[in-house]
Amino acid sequence: MKLGKLFFLTLLACPLGSVSAFADDSFRSRADKHAPAGIMGDHMHDPGEWMVEYKYMNMYMDDNRAGSRTLSDVESIAWGATSNPVTNRMATPTNMTHEMHMLHVMRGMTEDVTLYAMLMLPSITMDHLRGPMSGAPGTDFTTHNSGFGDTTFGALLRLYSDVDDDLIFNLAGSVPTGRIYRTTSVPTGGMMEQPMPYPMRLGSGTFNAKPGITWKHYFETGSFGTQLQTDLPIGRNYRDYAVSDEFRLNTWYSQVLNQYLAASIRLENLWRTNYTGADPMTPDMGISTNVESFRGGYTCNLGLGTSALIKGHLLSTEFVPTLYQDLNGIQLETDWTFIASWSKSF
């Protein structure tokens, strides 16, 4: 039925080559063929087809937030004096830039199975203000960490497709290739080596299950998608903790503007649990980024994206302002994320 319909549409479309940008058989070759830049695991490839993608992400976080309330740097230190547990006595984070370089390779194996792998290179910079129990209250310092992150492998399984729908299951997991334990003496002005706090670490340290499911529907001049994607650490890592369980629910619409361009709008709901276990070397009292119960929360993001399909090169960008956050304890608040991607199939 499906193949018959496609064949018929192909026959119809051939003499009408000039309008094929909007013909049914070319839904999956338009500028909106992939979801917005911030989304993964949304599309299949034909058997034998390869895709190579480079993706860049920059997440910017300025100021702290307790629950849904933004606090100044000085307020963040004061907040930690009476919190449970007490924290931010040595320092508070004040802002963070989290960059990620991603190399993504996909290959269509059969009509219904596409395999992929993704290599991550995070680069993390965090600014701090020293607190009352440090040697120099009121002074600031910056720490940095970069290297390999965790590596994701997955199989995209087509559960259902027709002319204008795709339902895809993402059977994926990550391997702990990112280092989780690295020390720095910057906070103590060279006096003492301390382990990097949780959000400065490059990986989870655990094997993670990352199942997801995506439904995409194509219209004559656009496409709609919705996706539930998870990231679930299995057990605890060798430092005796596990990072957050993560659940992302995304919904988007892409409008095809012409043969080369599409624009998208996306809404993301992101839930994270607190960490479980505890790294034995990271006292809560020093800084809030060491506190396992201050890692979870809810975030709502808006995504405004564009994609351009030029001679087979797909260039996508997405600006993702955070609309709302309700965070456990005190944490750096996310202000915005920027994502850019280049990909090519061959």
- What backbone torsions phi and psi does residue 79 show, to the nearest 5 degrees? -60, -40
Q: How many residues bind Cu ion (CB under 5 A)?
A: 2
* Cis-peptide, bond into residue 15, ω within 30° of zero: no
| Binder among 106, 196, 320, 339 for Cu ion (CB under 5 A) | 106
Nearer to Cu ion, 106 or 243 (CB): 106
Q: Which stretch binds Cu ion (CB under 5 A): 6-14, 100-108, 249-257, 307-315?
A: 100-108
| Integer angstrom CA distances of residue 219 from 12, 105, 224, 340, 343 | 18, 28, 8, 25, 23
Residue with smaller CB distance to Cu ion, 106 or 291: 106
Q: What's the min distance (Å) between Cβ of 42 and Cu ion?
A: 9
Shortest-Cβ-distance residue relative to Cu ion:
51
287 φ, ψ to 5°? -155, 145
Strand pairing class (151-162; 183-184):
unpaired
* Closest to 126 measured CA to CA, from 140, 106, 109: 140
Q: How far is the CB of 340 from Cu ion (least distance, A)?
A: 16
Provide the minimum distance between the beta carbon of 224 and Cu ion in the complex, in angstroms, as a whole number. Answer: 19
CA distance 65 to 327: 7
Report if residue 287 touches Cu ion, rule: CB under 5 A: no
Nearer to Cu ion, 106 or 120 (CB): 106
* Least distance between Cu ion and beta carbon 155 (Å): 13
Of the two residues 98 and 216, which places its CB atom closer to Cu ion in the complex?
216
Site for Cu ion in 217-236 (CB under 5 A): none
Which among 101-109, 145-153, 166-174, 178-186 is the span making contact with Cu ion, rule CB under 5 A?
A: 101-109
What is the smallest separation between the CB atom of 29 and Cu ion, expressed in angstroms?
12
Q: Which stretch binds Cu ion (CB under 5 A): 44-52, 72-80, 147-155, 189-197?
A: 44-52
Tell me how far, at minimum, the Cβ of 106 lies from Cu ion, in Å: 4
Q: Which is nearer to Cu ion, 166 or 333 (CB)?
A: 166
Alpha-carbon distances of 29 from 110, 248, 267, rounded to whole Å: 18, 26, 24
Residue 49 CB, shortest distance to Cu ion, in Å, is 9
> How far apart, in Å, do the first and last CA atoms of the chain sit?
28
Query: Which residue number, 39 or 330, has a Cβ lying nearer to Cu ion?
Result: 39
Which residue stretch of 45-53, 287-295, 297-305, 325-333 sits at the interface with Cu ion (rule: CB under 5 A)?
45-53
Residue (82 or 346) nearer to Cu ion, CB: 346
CB burial class (10 A; 0-12, 13-18, 19+) of residue 267?
A: middle
**Interface residue with Cu ion, options 51, 57, 291, 339 (CB under 5 A):** 51
Contact region for Cu ion (CB under 5 A) — 106-114, 139-147, 153-161, 300-308? 106-114
**Whether the Cβ atoms of residue 308 and residue 36 lie closer than 8 Å to each other:** no
Instruction: Identify the bridge partners of residue 142 per DSSP, sorted by sequence position.
Output: 127
- Looking at residue 41, the DSSP 8-state letter turns out to be S
102 binds Cu ion (CB under 5 A): no
Which of 254, 289 has the CB closer to Cu ion?
Answer: 254
Nearer to Cu ion, 96 or 106 (CB): 106
Would residue 65 be called left, alpha or beta, if left means φ above 0 and alpha means ψ between -120 and 50 degrees?
A: beta
Rg for the chain, CA atoms, rounded: 22
Contact criterion met (CB below 8 Å) for 172 and 114: no
Residue 63 beta carbon to Cu ion: minimum distance, rounded to whole angstroms: 37
Please state, in angstroms and as integers, the Cα–Cα distance from residue 15 to each residue in 12, 19, 143, following that order. 7, 10, 62
Give me the helices (H) in the chain, please: 2-13, 73-80
Residues found near Cu ion in the complex (CB under 5 A): 51, 106
